[in-house]
Amino acid sequence: MAATETIPDIKPTKPRRENLREGEVLCQYCTAKCCRYFALPIDEPKKWKDFEYIRWYLLHDHATVFIEDDSWYLLVHTKCKHLGDDHLCQAYETRPQICRDYTTDKCEYEDDWVYDHYFETPEQVAEYAEAVLPVRKGRTIRTPKPDPLRVIRTMSHEL
């Protein structure tokens, strides 16, 4: 960039929460993130069997698991059927109580949401379980290492 060139002003696509004018609502500027998933608390896994259930959850499309403040959640990425193309609720007057109770005080409007742990695949959960649980007697989720002599012998017979 030449010394005389200036960097163009980049304006945010949506106002910051604290810059909203009186009467404006965050939802007017949001893509309705809160209406595109639901998260249910699940028991913290303490045994291999518990982790196997979580691995099973993650074998299903649109499911993830996260930990936040030492609590475990099953997260299902799915859009509410009442969410309109304008990102607003099309059944606002008759929306469920959980929606009525929801506030924007701690919503994900700012796009800076971070979880303590986030699992997208069964393999991630298995690795986590291996790290936090004692080793199972004679069992592992990993494929056993092949016997190198057997591999060499097999290859020499093929030649």
Nearest to 42 by CA among 67, 72, 77, 63: 72
Q: How confident is the model at residue 157 (pLDDT cuts 50, 70, 90)?
A: low
Q: How confident is the model at residue 114 (pLDDT cuts 50, 70, 90)?
A: confident
Q: How confident is the model at residue 13 (pLDDT cuts 50, 70, 90)?
A: confident
- Per-domain boundaries in the chain: 17-158
Asked if pLDDT for residue 142 goes beyond 70, the answer is: no
Question: What is the tens place of the pLDDT at every residue in 52-99?
Answer: 999 999 999 999 999 999 999 999 999 999 999 999 999 999 999 999
Say if residues 45 and 72 touch (Cβ distance below 8 Å): yes
Q: State the Cα–Cα distance between residues 158 and 155, nearest whole angstrom.
A: 5
Least reliable range by pLDDT among 19-28, 42-51, 112-121, 137-146: 137-146
The predicted model scores a pTM of: 0.73
Write out the two tokens for 151.
């591999």
Q: State the Cα–Cα distance between residues 98 and 126, nearest whole angstrom.
A: 33
Mean pLDDT of 133-140: 75
What is the pLDDT, as a whole number, of residue 92?
Answer: 94
Give the DSSP H/E element, type plus range, for residue 52. Answer: helix 48-57
Say if residues 64 and 58 touch (Cβ distance below 8 Å): yes
Torsion of CA 81, 82, 85, 90, to 10 degrees: 170
